[in-house]
Structures are given as structure tokens and as C-alpha cells.
């Protein structure tokens, strides 16, 4: 089902449903007052008589309207104290508004927003719509007939606000963000027999090229020749060869100079390889390209909004399989950086994929900073559950930007340590670095970050974001509660980084 949003000062002549937010002072939104007058105060009276409904968050009230009204029902959704609204709170309320409509067989609705709140009226209307849109996502391509034929495919939401033009403008920006989020979710939810390195690379090309993004694919042959031994080792056990995809968005219009750099782990399926994972829950390892999906989604958002910045995104795509050709514990491989990596566990594959991507992006683009995203360790889930993504960062300005973006978008981040202790633990006796720390699984997210740090140039602002816990909702690892999306991929990283890039100077 797709939602189409229209913004106007007055509601259309007739719609299937009316929804309005109502705060704990039980004052009606300004935009609803005309209708209330037309109905001779019917709404105000009903609201007064409904003692149980106090306008608190999680409360709702359905009023049936008189025959002459523009719709049969009005759904009032409590939002608590209006003064305290943030854009994130408005997003979340939007999610609830969508849930109040979901399942009703309606084709249109009018949503009454309010110009008088702690949030500017245009922001409130736009973020309510944004939250509705984010929550409306579904991944149902493999059961298209589950909804019966009476369920409309399209719903028009008329957002009623005094600041319609401004709200529409805000929403257009937010819609570019949701489009990126939806792409990231689609990619993560896609099944691993359909999404594998080469098919994934083709999807990226098809999605982004028409938007003006330059998409370049380094296939296995090229990577082999260039000496990208780390990503090649991870992919060598699979019949589906690995590849690297480089997406560049030249928003400045000038020659690319110190672009913003993003790298994503794109392990399309992680069996663990020869260090095979246990069978139970292994199906969830299709999420192991979540970092790359966030980067692809981010680039899509930035291109759609015609962002005036230069951005390069690189994703390393590989399938980690056990086979006669797979890499082994004990192997020593030469990475693209020239550093030798001692492999002690083939399930610690993500850091190898990232290593070659990070060397390449720094060498080729000299980015102002580089941020990598990866579903890298189970240990980050032990540390932070699914509430925060773990951020390792060597630069306070980067951290401040990420932290603020996390607070604003609700994609929360927590700063984790980079330290000599962890670096020591990934030193190898036979090569330069080892992919399994000497101290085993203790502090596993931190030793993984220390490994990646070994591939970052001296003085390069860098952050590694471990999203193993936050990439999915509802699985055995994922978030347990999520207002802005259904069970499955969250698309985490897109909203965080879009907000971060928008504010970056
Ligand atoms: N893809 C996994 C990490 C993961 C775990 C993601 C759970 C999402 C949910 C990663 O490749 C992995 O297997 N990491 C190992 C590293 C260990 C062998 C050092 C882990 O976390 O156990
Ligand atoms: Mn693994
Ligand atoms: Zn993995």
C-alpha cells in the first residue's frame, strides 16, 4: 500500500476518515474548529463528555459524526503535553496515526494538524506525515495476495494545516529520507538466494544511476588484480563472486575535493564459513549487509534531495560460505593495504571486507572523514542490546555530529572506546593483525574496532558504527519495540547519517 500526502488549509468535501491529534489540555487543533462550528460544537461537546479520554499519549477516541459531516468518524489520538513535542515525538505520533488507520478499508483521510505547538506548525504537520509514511512500510513481495481485494492499494492523506506550503516543502525533504530508508529496508529484507553480490550491485546501479549518482563496480577479477586479498578471501568460498560498488554523488558541481566518505559491510549472507555458525537463527544472517544498505539508502536520499555536498559511498559485497574453496582459520592473507592478516576465525569476516574498502576509499578519494557501518559483532548486542548503535570514533567533531543526529532522529548512538589495550589484542605473531583477538570474545566489539582502526590513515577522522543490534526489528537480535516500522529491517543508519550530513559543515 502506498500513501500519498497532500497539504492544504481546508479539508476536501468528503473523505473516508478524519484523524486529529489532541493534547492533554483537550483543546482541539485550530484546523478542526471550522468543522466543529459547522457541526454546531458537536466535537467539542463529545470531547467534554468523554471523561476517559484525557488526551494522554496512547489514548484514542473514536467519535461518530452526524450525517451531514464530511466523514462518518473522527479518530482523536492523544499526544500528551503538546508543549514538549520534538520532531522525533511527532514522527512517533505519526507512526501511531498510521496504525490507527491500518486495516481500515479506506481510500482517503484528512489529518488535522495544529500550528500552535512547541514545534512550528509546518514541522509538526510534515513530521506527522513522515512518521505515518515510515510506519506504512511493508515487505510483502512474496505474498502479494495476502490482503483481500477490497483493501485499497493507495491511500491519500490530506494533511490540514494553516502552513500548507511550508509543510509540503518540509515533507518533500523528509520524503527523500523515507525513500532512502525504504530502499535500505527492502535490501535487508530481501532473501539471500535473490540478493547476492552481483545481483545486489545491479540493483544499486538501477536504483541510483537514474538519480545522477555515478556507480562503478569493481568485479572479482579487478579486485584480485588490484590485490584486494581481504575481501577476496571472504568471498572465495562462495560460487557467487564478491564485488565492490563505488557510488559518487557530486553535489557541489565542482571537482570532487575531500568528499564525505561512507563505507558499508555488505555480507549478503554470513554462514560463518569454515568457522560455521550454529544452525538456529542462521537465516537472520541475511541482515549482514545492513551497513551497506544504509550507505546505499543514504546516497539515494542525498541524490533525491539534490544535496549540495560531495559524497562517496563504497560497499564491499561478499557471501561468506564454507566450501572446498573457502578460506581457513590459520590462513594469512595480504590485504589491499599491504598489511598481512592472520585469520583465526572465518566468522570474523566483516572486518576483512571493511579493511579493503577503507584502504581504497582513503587512497582514491582522500575523504574529509570516513564513516563505516557494519553489522559487525554479536558483542555490541551484549553491550548495548538493540537500543543503541555502537560508535567508535577518533574525532570529537564527528562524534558530536553523530550524537546530535542520533538524538534528533531517534537512531540512538553510544560512544565506545578505542584504546591501546584493544589494539594490543589484535596484534599478530605471524602477520600484522589478527582477526580474532588474543583475549577471545571479551570486549569483542572493541577489538573488532581496533582491527579496523589498523586500516585508517594517521590523522584521518574516522568512525565505525556497529549496527548488529539495531538493523532488524523483531528477530532474535533486533529491537523489541519500534514505532516507525514493522517487524524486519529497520533501515537504521539512513536517517542518522542523512541528518548528520545535512548539518555537517
Ligand atoms: N555478522 C556477524 C555479527 C552479527 C551477530 C550480526 C549477530 C548480527 C547479529 C559477524 O560477522 C560475526 O559473526 N561476528 C563474530 C565475531 C567473532 C567470531 C570474533 C561474533 O560476533 O560472534
Ligand atoms: Mn561472521
Ligand atoms: Zn558477519
Q: For a pocket test of ligand 1, which of 274, 343, 347, 353 has the largest count of ligand atoms closer than 8 A to its C-beta?
A: 347
pLDDT of the residue at 253: 93
Contact present, 20 and 27 (Cβ < 8 Å): no
CA distances from 283 to 190, 270, 386, 468 (A): 12, 9, 19, 15
Catalytic residue among 33, 277, 423, 438: 277
What strands lie across the sheet with 433-434, from one edge to the other? 332-334, 340-342, 433-434
Q: What mean pLDDT is predicted for residues 283-288? A: 97
pLDDT higher than 80, residue 115: no
Chain-centre distance of CA 277, in angstroms?
26
Q: Confidence band (pLDDT; 50, 70, 90) for 120?
A: confident
pLDDT higher than 60, residue 321: yes
Closest CA to 402 of 361, 377, 373: 373
CA distance 217 to 135: 33
Q: What mean pLDDT is predicted for residues 443-470? A: 98
**Residue 493 beta carbon below 6 angstroms from any ligand 1 atom:** no
Q: Confidence band (pLDDT; 50, 70, 90) for 334?
A: very high
CATH of span 2-161: 3.40.220.10
**Residue 447 beta carbon below 6 angstroms from any ligand 1 atom:** no
Residue of 98 and 150 predicted with greater confidence: 98
pLDDT of the residue at 172: 98
pLDDT higher than 60, residue 471: yes
Q: Confidence band (pLDDT; 50, 70, 90) for 116?
A: low
CA-287 nearest atom, ligand 1: 8
Cβ contacts of 411 within 8 Å, gap of 6 or more: 389, 405, 470, 492, 493, 495, 496
Q: What mean pLDDT is predicted for residues 443-463? A: 98
Per-chain mean pLDDT for the chain = 94
**Residue 269 beta carbon below 6 angstroms from any ligand 1 atom:** no
pLDDT of the residue at 495: 98
**Residue 436 beta carbon below 6 angstroms from any ligand 1 atom:** yes
Q: What mean pLDDT is predicted for residues 331-351? A: 98
Q: For a pocket test of ligand 1, which of 287, 372, 378, 466 has the largest count of ligand atoms closer than 8 A to its C-beta?
A: 378
C-alpha cell at 248: 559518487
CATH value of 176-503 in 1.10.3720.10, 3.40.630.10, 3.30.479.30, 2.40.160.20: 3.40.630.10
Q: Confidence band (pLDDT; 50, 70, 90) for 79?
A: confident
Chain-centre distance of CA 291, in angstroms?
9
Catalytic residue among 351, 408, 479, 495: 351
**Residue 360 beta carbon below 6 angstroms from any ligand 1 atom:** no
State pLDDT tens for residues 183-227: 999 999 999 999 999 999 999 999 999 999 999 999 999 999 999
CA 196–ligand 1 middle distance (angstroms): 19
Q: Confidence band (pLDDT; 50, 70, 90) for 477?
A: confident
Name the β-bridge partners of 3: 155
Q: For a pocket test of ligand 1, which of 271, 349, 377, 443 has the largest count of ligand atoms closer than 8 A to its C-beta?
A: 377
pLDDT of the residue at 312: 98
Verify whether residue 286 is a known catalytic residue: no
**Residue 466 beta carbon below 6 angstroms from any ligand 1 atom:** no
pLDDT of the residue at 147: 59
Q: Confidence band (pLDDT; 50, 70, 90) for 101?
A: confident
**Residue 288 beta carbon below 6 angstroms from any ligand 1 atom:** yes
pLDDT of the residue at 148: 63
Residue identifier of the C-alpha nearest atom 9 of ligand 1? 468
pLDDT higher than 80, residue 114: no
Closest CA to 315 of 361, 380, 367: 361
pLDDT higher than 90, residue 350: yes
CA-345 nearest atom, ligand 1: 18
**Residue 349 beta carbon below 6 angstroms from any ligand 1 atom:** yes
CA angle 49, 52, 53 (to 5 degrees): 80
pLDDT higher than 60, residue 243: yes
pLDDT of the residue at 28: 82
pLDDT of the residue at 84: 73
Kindly tell me the burial class for residue 398, based on how many C-beta atoms sit within 10 Å of its own C-beta (0-12, 13-18, 19 or more). buried
**Residue 345 beta carbon below 6 angstroms from any ligand 1 atom:** yes
Residue identifier of the C-alpha nearest atom 7 of ligand 1? 378
pLDDT of the residue at 34: 87
pLDDT of the residue at 170: 96
Cβ contacts of 333 within 8 Å, gap of 6 or more: 229, 230, 233, 327, 340, 341, 343, 352
Q: What mean pLDDT is predicted for residues 273-294? A: 97
3-class secondary structure, 233: helix
CA distance 455 to 458: 9
CA distance 235 to 323: 11
CA 385–ligand 1 middle distance (angstroms): 14
Residue of 94 and 30 predicted with greater confidence: 94
Beta strand segments in 161-236, E: 214-218
Q: What mean pLDDT is predicted for residues 160-175? A: 95
pLDDT higher than 80, residue 77: yes
State pLDDT tens for residues 33-56: 888 999 999 999 999 999 899 988
State pLDDT tens for residues 412-425: 999 999 999 999 99
pLDDT higher than 80, residue 83: no
State pLDDT tens for residues 289-300: 999 999 999 999
Verify whether residue 351 is a known catalytic residue: yes
Q: How many CA atoms lie within 13 A of 8 on its CB side?
A: 11
Q: Is 437 left (phi over 0), alpha (psi -120 to 50) or beta?
A: beta
Q: Confidence band (pLDDT; 50, 70, 90) for 149?
A: low
CA distance 147 to 169: 33
CA 282–ligand 1 middle distance (angstroms): 11
CA distances from 181 to 133, 136, 247, 298 (A): 11, 12, 17, 8
Domain ranges of the chain: 2-161, 176-503
Amino acid at each position: 500500500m502506498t500513501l500519498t500526502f497532500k497539504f492544504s488549509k481546508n479539508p476536501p468535501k468528503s473523505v473516508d476518515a478524519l484523524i486529529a491529534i489532541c493534547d492533554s489540555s483537550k483543546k482541539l487543533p485550530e484546523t478542526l474548529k471550522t468543522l466543529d462550528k459547522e457541526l454546531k460544537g458537536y466535537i467539542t461537546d463529545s470531547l467534554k463528555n468523554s471523561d476517559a479520554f484525557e488526551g494522554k499519549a496512547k489514548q484514542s477516541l473514536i467519535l461518530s459524526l452526524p450525517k451531514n459531516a464530511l466523514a462518518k468518524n473522527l479518530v482523536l489520538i492523544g499526544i500528551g503535553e503538546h508543549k514538549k513535542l520534538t520532531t522525533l515525538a511527532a514522527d512517533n505520533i505519526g507512526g501511531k496515526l498510521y496504525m490507527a488507520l491500518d486495516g481500515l478499508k479506506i481510500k482517503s483521510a484528512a489529518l488535522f494538524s495544529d500550528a500552535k505547538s512547541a514545534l512550528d506548525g509546518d514541522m509538526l504537520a510534515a513530521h506527522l506525515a513522515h512518521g505515518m509514511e515510515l510506519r506504512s512500510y511493508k515487505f510483502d513481495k512474496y505474498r502479494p495476495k495476502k490482503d483481500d481485494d477490497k483493501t485499497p492499494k493507495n491511500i491519500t492523506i490530506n494533511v490540514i494545516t494553516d502552513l500548507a506550503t511550508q509543510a509540503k516543502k518540509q515533507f518533500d525533504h523528509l520524503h527523500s529520507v523515507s525513500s532512502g530508508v525504504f530502499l535500505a529496508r527492502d535490501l535487508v529484507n530481501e532473501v539471500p538466494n535473490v540478493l547476492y553480490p552481483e545481483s545486489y550491485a545491479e540493483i544499486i546501479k538501477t536504483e541510483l544511476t537514474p538519480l545522477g549518482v555515478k556507480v562503478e563496480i569493481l568485479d572479482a577479477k579487478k579486485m584480485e588484480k588490484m590485490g584486494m586479498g581481504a575481501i577476496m578471501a571472504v568471498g572465495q568460498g562462495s560460487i557467487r563472486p564478491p564485488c565492490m560498488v563505488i557510488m559518487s554523488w557530486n553535489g557541489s558541481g565542482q571537482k570532487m575535493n575531500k568528499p564525505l566518505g561512507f563505507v558499508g559491510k555488505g555480507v549478503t549472507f554470513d554462514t560463518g564459513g569454515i568457522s560455521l555458525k550454529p544452525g538456529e537463527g542462521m537465516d537472520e544472517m541475511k541482515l549482514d549487509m545492513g551497513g551497506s544498505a544504509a550507505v546505499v539508502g543514504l546516497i539515494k536520499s542525498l541524490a533525491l534531495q539534490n544535496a549540495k555536498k560531495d559524497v562517496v559511498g563504497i560497499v564491499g559485497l561478499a557471501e561468506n560460505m564454507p566450501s572446498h574453496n573457502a578460506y581457513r582459520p590459520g590462513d594469512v592473507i595480504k590485504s589491499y593495504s599491504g598489511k598481512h592478516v592472520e585469520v583465526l576465525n572465518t566468522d570474523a569476516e566483516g572486518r576483512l571486507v571493511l579493511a579493503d574498502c577503507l584502504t581504497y576509499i582513503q587512497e582514491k578519494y582522500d575523504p574529509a572523514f570516513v564513516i563505516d557501518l557494519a553489522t559487525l559483532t554479536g558483542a555490541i548486542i551484549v553491550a548495548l542490546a538493540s537500543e543503541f548503535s555502537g560508535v567508535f570514533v577518533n574525532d570529537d567533531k564527528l562524534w558530536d555530529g553523530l550524537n546530535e543526529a542520533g538524538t534528533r532522529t531517534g537512531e540512538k548512538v553510544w560512544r565506545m572506546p578505542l584504546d591501546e589495550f584493544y589494539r594490543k589484542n589484535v596484534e599478530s605473531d605471524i602477520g600484522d593483525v589478527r582477526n580474532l583477538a588474543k583475549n577471545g570474545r571479551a570486549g569483542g566489539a572493541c577489538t573488532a574496532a581496533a582491527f579496523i582502526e589498523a586500516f585508517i590513515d594517521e590523522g584521518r577522522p574516522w568512525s565505525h558504527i556497529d549496527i548488529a543490534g539495531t538493523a532488524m526489528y523483531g528477530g532474535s537480535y533486533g529491537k523489541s519495540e519500534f514505532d516507525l516500522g514493522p517487524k524486519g529491517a529497520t533501515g537504521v543508519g539512513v536517517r542518522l547519517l542523512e541528518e548528520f550530513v545535512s548539518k555537517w559543515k
